[in-house]
């Protein structure tokens, strides 16, 4: 079920990205061949695809897709709770400088 939800949420991104790239190619080849209508149509399709892609990416649906890609660990935590913090013999806020030069 999760894979179907991921597919349905990623599908609009794929379609809009395809429109942006395909429209750019249509505009490029229309411009090279001298077809004004093809150039304008390709540019329009490319612009709509790019605008839709980034609008969808910045919308809450884009955040949902980002959350779906992350997996949560189901096993025990990897944190070592018994580890002690390193001691700081110096004054608080000051770091001790150790000279490691060979004399």
In whole angstroms, give the CA distance from residue 103 to residue 96. Answer: 20
| pLDDT at position 9 | 80
pLDDT confidence band for 57 (50 / 70 / 90): confident
Between residues 102 and 55, which one has the greater pLDDT? 55
53-86: burial string, b at 16+ Cβ within 10 Å, e else? beebeeeeebeebeeeeeeeeeeeeeeeeeeeee
What is the pTM for the complete model shown? 0.58
Distances (CA, A) of 4 to 16, 39, 61, 103: 19, 37, 15, 67
pLDDT at 54: 92
In this predicted model, what pLDDT tens digit does every residue of 14-31 receive, in sequence order? 999 999 999 999 999 999
């Amino acid at each position: 079920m999760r894979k179907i939800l991921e597919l349905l949420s990623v599908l609009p991104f794929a379609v809009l990205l395809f429109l942006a790239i395909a429209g750019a190619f249509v505009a490029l080849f229309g411009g090279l061949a001298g077809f004004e209508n093809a150039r304008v149509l390709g540019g329009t399709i490319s612009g709509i695809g790019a605008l839709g892609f980034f609008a969808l990416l910045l919308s809450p649906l884009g955040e949902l897709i980002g959350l779906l890609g992350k997996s949560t660990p189901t096993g025990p935590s990897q944190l070592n709770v018994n580890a002690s913090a390193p001691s700081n013999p110096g004054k608080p806020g000051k770091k001790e400088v150790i000279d490691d030069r060979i004399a």
